[in-house]
Amino acid sequence: MMSPVDDGSTTPSVRAPKKSTGVSTSTILLVIGASAISFLAGTLFALGFNQCPTLPPPAQAAAEQAKGTPLESPNTVTAEKRSLVRKEIAEPLERKAPPVEPAHTTTSHRKGQLFPETVQKFVTGMAHVDKTEFTDKFELGVPLDLPSEGTEDILLLYSGKRSMPTKYQQSLATDIQQLTTEEATENCLFLNMIYTHHDGQREQCTAIIPQYESFHIHKWMRLPKSGKGGVDKTNPLKPVGRGLQANGIDPFKVPVYERHTKRHWEILRKYLDSVDDVLNELRPIVKRIKIKNTVIVMVCNHGQSELLVNFACSTHARGLDISNIIVFATDEETKELAESVGLAAYYDEHNFGDITSEAAKEYGDRHFTAMMMAKVICVQLISLLGVDLLFQDVDIVWYKNPLNFFHKNEHDPIHTFDMYYQDDGAHSTRYAPYAPNSGFYYVRHNAKTRHFLTSLLMQGDLVLKTFSHQQAMTAVMAEHASLFGLRVKVLSRDENDFPGGYHYHRKNGEFLRQMYQGEVSPTIFHMSWTKNKDNKLLFLKQMGEWYLQDKCVSKKLADIGIEKDNFVSSCCSKEALVTCHYKDKPSIKPCKDSPALDKGRPSFW
């Protein structure tokens, strides 16, 4: 809207004087005075209420005319002059009347309304529901952190009045109430779930934007100008990858073409050239050993073979069936050892012939990474044969056959999932949101899981870059769960069936103490979270989970000097071979005379 003296034209022209019409001088002065007052009122109206450009005040205009300076048009008034007008005219009057609130800061709440009109098209009400009750009802498979103070409930937003529970529609539009899960979701036709960080000390905001839907969370951070380190509050928010952490570490760096992608292509080329031949060789083996259309898959080189053999010896001691296990050996020596303890074995020379027989010295080294790719390939091959599979690492011991857990009654709720993973225990950004342990998982064969395992194979350069197929597996899994509805269940670390390195190394091994006292009865134990094979052996020995005679450790069958059929009787002990090594690590008997491994840790006993 324009001021009363602004007709939208340029600066008014000076007209030639007209002949006198007989109007008195006093009348002329009265008209001029009234015009001046109208001008001032219009200017103030424009400045204070409409914020439209205005003409200079009359005194300034007269002075400029006296100097021969042409008047500026309303559209060319400078910011400096506009500020002057506000100071000289608007401010004195503002002291007499309260300022008018600018339009962009006004609220549009109706009386008693929870949300303003400006968001009513996508959020009209809110409720909170007990977290445990809600997640039990809507099981997404993610391992849940136990509720703590300030995180006992979940927050539920309603997009419209019809989505609210019928009897609470009016109250939820004006207040936030605690409801049961059944009440809260009574009229929800769609339910979107967001998992967000719950550390109250982190300065985190969540924006919900009315838009056509995205099923990804886009992350922004205040980065330091150097690009290094963590966050800098003085800098603006910038978009980042989801893996970037507050300490500046980003575990999801892009693979390098020359180092990772080209190497992956070489691996992939060998695989694609040989896949039909390999499947033809595997098919009769799998057909022979499968039980309830399920096989158990392991992969091993000679450097890790003592762990494989110890696993087999422990199952013989406990009388557990291992007849449907197939070992993908990466060398002939390991194939022979696997067969000598009653395991089916297959040596894939096409794909694994170049893998070293040495054990990895630590997590993430080149030998470790090579074996990670072997783990990706072997499960993908088995999936193509149309059977369910349980994959497990060699550093596992069984107390019961784990297939009994996965082959429960088909009406059990657990059968609604496509894949099941041991909880790694590391609930970090790197493995979010599932934190799946890639060393123990069960896969039901279907189109979704087969495509998932094929897609993981195609992400080999990410495996090589991150030194972990667990990290790449988690990233692909999250996308497939969102895009295809892949159902993944992580077997929570707070349950007792599938403990691992997290339970061994955290809380001073409290879970192991409960196990030795007979308070918990797990299905398996996985010696994960351990730097290398040497430590795994020592930990298993003092846990009472070592059954391989010393004379057969790290030996090829030919070096032991026995026939293949005599290996179990000659090398496997019927009782656990217990030895102490570290007093601060869990042990089945007191090891107080042994040194401590971790400085400052108390004795386990």
Domains (range + CATH), the chain: 27-94 (no CATH), 117-214 (no CATH), 257-398+409-489 (3.90.550)
Give phi and psi for 591, each to the nearest 5: -125, 45
pLDDT in tens, 274-297: 999 999 999 999 999 999 999 999
pLDDT in tens, 172-229: 989 999 999 999 999 999 999 998 877 665 788 889 999 988 888 899 999 898 766 6
pLDDT above 50: residue 23? no
Q: How many degrees, rounded to 5, is the angle at CA 20 between CA 17 and CA 22?
A: 150
pLDDT in tens, 525-540: 999 999 899 999 999 9
Q: Average the pLDDT over 497-504 and give the result.
A: 94
DSSP string, 121-154: TT--EEEEEEHHHHHHHS---PPPPPP-TT-SEE
User: Residue 433: pLDDT band by 50, 70, 90 thresholds?
Assistant: very high
Q: How many CA atoms lie within 13 A of 589 on its CB side?
A: 11
pLDDT in tens, 1-22: 443 333 333 333 333 333 334 4
User: Residue 365: pLDDT band by 50, 70, 90 thresholds?
Assistant: low
pLDDT in tens, 142-171: 988 888 888 999 999 999 999 999 999 989
Alpha helix ranges (H) inside 145-261: 169-172, 181-184
Q: Can the peptide bond before residue 99 be classed as cis, meaning omega within 30 degrees of 0?
A: no
The pLDDT mean for the chain works out to 82
User: Residue 112: pLDDT band by 50, 70, 90 thresholds?
Assistant: confident
User: Residue 308: pLDDT band by 50, 70, 90 thresholds?
Assistant: very high
Residue 247, strand partner residues:
none
Q: Average the pLDDT over 77-88 and give the result.
A: 43
CA distances from 221 to 215, 249, 252, 254, 433 (A): 20, 13, 16, 19, 19
> Angle formed by the axes of helices 305-318 and 332-340, to 10°?
10
Q: CA–CA separation, 330 vs 394, rounded Å?
A: 14
pLDDT at 75: 40
Instruction: Say if residues 391 and 406 touch (Cβ distance below 8 Å).
Output: no
Please, what's the largest Cα pairwise distance for the chain? Answer: 138
Q: Which long-range contacts (CB under 8 A, 24 or more apart) does 185-191 make?
A: 185/137, 185/156, 187/162, 187/163, 188/163, 189/163, 191/138
Q: Which residues, other chains included, contact 208 with Cβ-Cβ below 8 Å and sequence gap of 6+? A: 122, 123, 157
Q: Hey, is 528 helix, strand or coil?
A: coil
pLDDT above 70: residue 412? yes
